[in-house]
Amino acid sequence: MASFRIAVIGGDGIGPEVIEQAIRVTDRAIQCDGVKIEWNRLPWSSNYYKETGTMMPDNGWDILQQHDAILLGAIGSPDVPDHITLHGLLLPMRRRFDQYLNLRPAYLFEGVESPLRHQKPGSIDFVVYRENTEGEYAPVGGRHYVGTPHEIAIQTAIFTRRGCERIMRAAFEGARKRRCKVTSITKSNAQVYGMVLWDEVFETVSRDYPDVQAEKLLIDAAAMDFVRRPDSFDVVVASNLFGDILTDLSAIITGSMGLAASGNINPERRFPSMFEPVHGSAPDIAGKGIANPLAAMLSAAMLLDHLQLAKSAAALRSAVGEVLKAGKPRTPDLGGNDKTEAITEAVLAAIKS
């Protein structure tokens, strides 16, 4: 029987709560492909940081590299500054493993009510291709005269031609497998270096895809259009920060943060890719057993697709769809009163092997 090794970083808050549920349903779904997964749980988290002073051991990258993929919950704890925890594990991982493609699908499932009253099931159906290794997230800059009245902080955004080009090509290739439309998010009216390069590369790449409709939107107008006409998007390509912000918006217009899945992908497969829900550690509901595990489960389905276990991925995804369509059980974020584990039981029952 074929077997895969997956590194599991539950992390903080609701991270471990939802990831354990995702593992349970994935173990069931993979029976469709007749394979096995060995889950290697790693304790790297804010608690690990409080005990050891680092987010992961010195050989952490080597350990991760020995896996076929990584499943992550969330990192971030109210008692440790985010700039320490996120810069000790999650953000460096995206760069180190060259996971430059951050895929974030937005889909309005049947049985889920969008806060946008005109949207029907399936009418919102797009994928954000977020650049994941440079842009506004480049760790370039510094602080000078710290703590003095004339303190200076400099944070430099990095846009490279190669970085823009590879995410945009991925977006156009992706659009060819969907409805053949790509929308590029920009702010070249204000950011006249990085975003102008972004636009120029988009223009150049789009010429190689005459069969794909190319559209350009300023980020402020795009935020409006995610609300006004979300049904008009197919593939959206955005820089690191713009893609981050827009995907919380795309999560809520499709019902909840608790439904939004993502993959941090190294398309060349030189390094392991990492799959995680879009949401964070949700300290406001952590420990209560009421987190929605569906975003984690849908992220696990993306992981299965990445492992080319298409039958298992489809089985898991359609089980999630069935549970949502049934309208119950539901966690409070979707208007219900049910617990995390009740959702898992329902998904397990809905998986057809």
Q: Is residue 238 within 8 Å of 264, Cβ to Cβ?
A: no
Tokens of 231: 């049904």
Residue 86 in contact with ligand IPM, rule: CB under 6 A:
yes
* 218/82 Cα distance (integer angstroms): 29
| Residue found under tokens 């879009």 | 278
The continuous run of DSSP H or E covering 73 comes out as strand 69-74
Q: Is residue 309 within 8 Å of 33, Cβ to Cβ?
A: yes
Residue 197 contact among ligand IPM, ligand NAD, Mn ion, none, beta carbon within 5 to 8 Å by kind = none
Closer Cβ to ligand NAD, 116 or 290, answer by number: 290
Catalytic residue among 82, 120, 145, 208: 145
* 332/340 Cα distance (integer angstroms): 10
* 16/169 Cα distance (integer angstroms): 35
Q: Residue 213 Cβ, how far from ligand IPM at the closest point, in Å?
A: 27
Pairing of strands 101-107, 213-218: unpaired
Residue 257 contact among ligand NAD, Mn ion, ligand IPM, none, beta carbon within 5 to 8 Å by kind = ligand NAD
What residues from 229 to 248 belong to the interface with Mn ion (CB under 5 A)?
A: 244
Closer Cβ to Mn ion, 29 or 246, answer by number: 246
Can the peptide bond before residue 105 be classed as cis, meaning omega within 30 degrees of 0? no
Catalytic residue among 244, 305, 333, 338: 244
| Residue found under tokens 């590879």 | 166
79 catalytically annotated: no
Catalytic residue among 187, 209, 305, 333: 187
248 catalytically annotated: yes
Closer Cβ to ligand IPM, 35 or 86, answer by number: 86
Q: Residue 97 Cβ, how far from ligand IPM at the closest point, in Å?
A: 15
145 catalytically annotated: yes
Closer Cβ to ligand NAD, 88 or 194, answer by number: 88
Residue 272 contact among ligand IPM, ligand NAD, Mn ion, none, beta carbon within 5 to 8 Å by kind = none
* 225/205 Cα distance (integer angstroms): 24
Q: DSSP states of 20-62 as a string?
A: HHHHHHHHHHGGGTT-EEEEEEE--SHHHHHHHSSSS-TTHHH
Closer Cβ to ligand IPM, 250 or 344, answer by number: 250
220 catalytically annotated: yes
Closer Cβ to Mn ion, 252 or 351, answer by number: 252
36 catalytically annotated: no
Residue 17 contact among ligand IPM, Mn ion, ligand NAD, none, beta carbon within 5 to 8 Å by kind = none
Q: Pattern of binders to ligand IPM over 239-278, x per CB under 6 A?
A: -----x---------------------------------x
Q: Residue 26 Cβ, how far from ligand IPM at the closest point, in Å?
A: 21
Q: Residue 107 Cβ, how far from ligand IPM at the closest point, in Å?
A: 18
Q: DSSP states of 158-173 as a string?
A: B--HHHHHHHHHHHHH
308: left (phi over 0), alpha (psi -120 to 50) or beta: left
Helix axes 310-326, 14-29, angle to 10 degrees: 120
Hey, what long-range contacts does 222-231 have (CB within 8 A, 24 or more apart)? 222/183, 222/185, 222/246, 223/249, 226/250, 226/253, 227/116, 227/253, 230/106, 230/116, 230/119, 230/123, 230/124, 230/126, 231/119, 231/123, 231/124, 231/125
Q: Residue 64 Cβ, how far from ligand IPM at the closest point, in Å?
A: 17
Chain residues in the site for ligand NAD (CB under 6 A): 14, 18, 74-76, 82, 86, 90, 257-258, 276, 279-285, 291-292, 295, 331, 333
Sites of contact with ligand IPM (CB under 6 A): 76, 86, 91, 244, 278, 280
Report, as residue numbers or ranges, the catalytic residues. 145, 187, 220, 244, 248
Sites of contact with Mn ion (CB under 5 A): 244
